[in-house]
Structure 1
Amino acid sequence: MELKPMVFCDTKTVLTYMEANFRFNLALKIPSIRKAEKAAPLIITRLEIYETRIVINDTEYKMKVWRECQADAGLYNGEVDDDADEFGYKISINESMQPGDIKLVYDGSKRRRRGWLRYDCPERMYQRPCNHFIRLYVSGSMTQFPHTNMKMHHLIRRLLTIFIGNRSGECIIKNIDLKDDVLRWPKDGRKVILQNVEIGEYTPFKFDALHSIVDPNVPISRLKTIVSNFQRRILDHSLLKNVEHLVLSNSLEILFRSDLFSMQTQKVSFTHSCSIERSLQRLISTLMEKPRPIGLCYSIRVRSKMNLNIINHPKELEKSKDCMKLEMGDDAIVVIQYVEEKKKTWLNIEIVPKKKKF
């Protein structure tokens, strides 16, 4: 029987159903399929980006620096976790920025303290050869790159370009977690579809970064963050229009610091358990100040149920200890009620059409 090579479309179909890391590795070894690999839809179940490592699905790409100074055996030799410049200082965020990189934090200009080099490397002083390498560990194997022309942040960018960059096919990332202070995303290629996103501590820069890489035609299913005491409030952003569910690992107080009722995300959850006795009346008054869009839903995790009968508002339609309904204009009703989910108690505030039956 005569063997026939697969045509381009067949190759794309086969690659689409391959596990992402196996597919990347295959394309590196077989140049003839690289064009098809970039054109085939790519699905990544989990992507985590750290300062010195990347996790894709169940595979970790981890970097270390190998230092072997031949001129002075007294200096520390061996593997270290941090990258440093020729003077022994850990490279700052600003020094590591490359064209297209997006800073995710406020201050990256401050020079960091001296790292694993205690003084100038003798290679600089005596022109003696030293063996400095970037080591990349993947699934038990190790590859070395010369340290002279490459730092860890260069390799992070290079890996993300291999994985995500220059794609003409659709790229779906089901879960992404940004752990680094810089997003070193590839400059070229189509925007990606993100489903569940975790960004850690909130900064406006992180919203800017996500907005620049995400496909605006497909909503983000869930975006999780936490607002620090330093930041204090979350600002409205055009990204939130494309987020179906915003999850804040904060208590209810953040709602009063931010104008969350006016933001473009219709479903917001506060996952930090809190007491609502002192704030619920104020919360309802703030909500009822003006008409809100139908579909708006806020879920607040509470420590215990407060009797809703003690809440008073001129727009009341009906109320009981666990449920309250308020009239909002001619077309909407605000439903406030407790919900039990996975042994946790939530207070849900939802705006529904007036014609809806309960």
Structure 2
Amino acid sequence: MLFELLKTVIEYMEPNKRFELARRCPLLRQAEKATPLRIKTLKFGLNKVDVDNTRYQIGLHREANEGRSDLEWDDDYRDVDKDGFPVRMPGMAVLPGDLSLNSSNQKLKKYIRQDAYERNNEKKKDLEWDLGSRSLELQMQDISQEECNKKTNIIKTSLIAFECLKNNTPLPYETFAKFTIRNSTGQTVHRFEYDKPLFHMVKYLTTCFFEGRKHPIIVNNLSTDALLHQPIRLPPGVRFHVNNWNATSHFASVYAALKPVLTESSVPFKKLELALLPYMSDELNHPVIQSAQRLIIKPVKMEDPSNIMWYLLKFPNPVIGIYANKAQLRMNHIDQWVDHRKRNGWGIGKRLEVYYVEDWIRDIVYDDIYGRSEKDGNRRAFINIPGGRIVFKIGQTIGKRRLFCILADCVQE
């Protein structure tokens, strides 16, 4: 009786409080593991896991030797070798239960290389501008003296490993593993001996959270990153029921990696959000994408994504959303879409959502639609189509990032 009562109380506790309760009270751990776990937001990143409003991150902490107050470091979440140089390969090891998001898709690998080249080229141009085109006085106006000193010290510190290796001298600092817990109330930092690659600590963390659960973990919003370059660390046997998934990019390979830990009832997803790269249009034919109740697309590095909108509107998804900016989905594209719907109709109950980062862009497009449309008794803009009408309205999304949108609903007359 007491065990069942405990499970009832635990089930509706905030997940991070449940993790802390299980850690502090071993006698309650069995009841906690036997109770369904509900998570609003679960996000996997580089050596970090976000659970609702709390971030757990593993990184490095360096402590300078006495008398070396000039040493400063940026936050670092990469492994280093005994000489202090970054190493990457340990983080790629795949252990039982881990999900490897690495893709054999050559187009994706080519895109990653090209994207890295473009970003580095932009940094190079910025540096050339700083060093050549702008005067030192103008540069100093951009940052305070304190920031300037800090950046200088960080650059000098990054060169110390080379100097020590060259002179065969020990490093003037010690390196520790750092475990950071950060939420809305602040952050807590724990320091440990750095005697193994960081991913082992991430694996231990997710094992404490997710191992041995008798029920699938219910996740309302899951976020993964195909460009993570690191497996998702999970214990063997874990299962998730996911309602909404932000899959970022390269859906086919990421879904194949994630499928073994998803319950069958996760599909169709209530909402599926994708970043669509220029070469990925053919992936939109994936049956899981077309089965999502709400499909949201973010065109990335596409000069004109209007063809993608035409393509998407042939899909059976009840709601289709697409992100726009100043260069995307211009007014004439909306007009063309409206004219097409007048001639060919649209499925009753379907909705198109177009998102803008600034309200004035949305308002310009909507004003044009409003001026060309008929008005109902509530002054709502609509157009008649075969078998019904499309009603237009404006709105905005509420969340971490506010977006302004135009909504087009197909309804019966």
TM-score by length of 2: 0.61
CA 1:238–1:121: 2 relative to 1, 3 Å: farther
Structure 1 partner of 2:17: 22
- CA distance 1:146–1:263, change in 2 (3 Å): farther
CA contact (8 A) 1:252 1:270 kept: no
CA distance in 2, matches of 1:138, 1:104: 28
Q: Paired residue for 2:307?
A: 256
Structure 1 residues 349 and 247, CA gap change in structure 2 (3 angstroms): same
**Deviations, residues 227-280 of structure 1 (Å, cap 9, x unaligned):** 245656752323325522122244995362474244453311123253342464
**Aligned pairs (5 A) from 1:207-222:** 207-218=255-266, 219-222=268-271
1:247 aligns with 2:296: yes
CA 1:59–1:32: 2 relative to 1, 3 Å: same
**Equivalent of 2:92 in 86, 96, 102:** 96
CA shift digits 1:173-203 (9 cap, x unpaired): 233333671451424335323334334x422
Supply the AA of the counterpart residue of 1:346: I
Relative distance call for 1:30 and 1:237 in structure 2 (3 A) is same
In structure 2, the residue matched to 1:33 is 28
1:300 is aligned, of 354, 362, 365, to: 354
Where in structure 2 are the equivalents of 1:124-163 lying within 5 Å?
131-138=174-181, 140-151=187-198, 153-163=199-209
Secondary structure at the counterpart of residue 264 of structure 2: coil
- The answer to whether structure 1 residue 168 and structure 2 residue 210 are counterparts is no
Matched residue, 1:324:
383
Whichever residue aligns with residue 177 of structure 2, its letter is: I
Name the structure 2 match of 1:338.
Answer: 392
Matches within 5 A, 1:102-121: 102-103=100-101, 106-107=108-109, 116=158, 118-119=161-162
> Deviation of residue 306 (structure 1)?
4.4
Query: How far off is 1:45 after superposition?
Result: 2.6
- Structure with the larger strand share: 1
**TM-aligned CA distance change 1:134 to 1:121, over 3 Å:** farther
User: Does residue 275 of the first structure (1) align with residue 330 of the second (2)?
Assistant: yes
Displacement of 1:16 after TM fit? 0.9
Deviation at 1:134, TM superposition (A): 1.0
Q: Which has the higher helix share?
A: 2
Cα distance change of structure 1 residues 50 and 163 upon mapping to structure 2, 3 Å threshold: same
Gaps of at least 5 residues in structure 2 are 121-156, 356-361, 374-379, 398-403
Count how many residue pairs are aligned between Structure 1 and Structure 2: 327
Residue 178 (structure 2) pairs with residue 178 (structure 1):
no
State the shift of 1:48 in Å.
3.2
Q: What one-letter code is carried by the residue in structure 1 that aligns with 2:270?
A: S
- Structure 2 distance, partners of 1:93, 1:244, is 39
Distance across 2 between alignment mates of 1:107 and 1:93: 17
**Equivalent residue letter for 2:250:** T
| Identical-pair percentage | 17
Task: Please state how far the C-alpha of 1:25 moved relative to its aligned partner.
Answer: 1.6
Quick one: which amino acid aligns to residue 26 of structure 2?
A: P
Matches within 5 A, 1:181-196: 181=228, 182-196=230-244
Distance in 2 (CA, whole Å) between partners of 1:304 and 1:101 is 44
SS at match of 1:142: strand
Superposition deviation, residue 299 in structure 1 = 2.8
SS at match of 1:134: strand
Q: Deviations 1:274-302 (Å, cap 9, x if unpaired)?
A: 3342464368659988x986644323355
Whether the 8 Å contact between 1:160 and 1:186 is mirrored in structure 2 is yes
- Distance in 1 between the 2:283 and 2:341 partners? 17
* 1:220 counterpart letter in structure 2: F
Q: What is the TM-score normalised by the length of structure 1? A: 0.69
Deviation, structure 1 residue 338: 1.8
Q: For the Cα contact (< 8 Å) 1:232–1:254, is it kept in 2? A: no
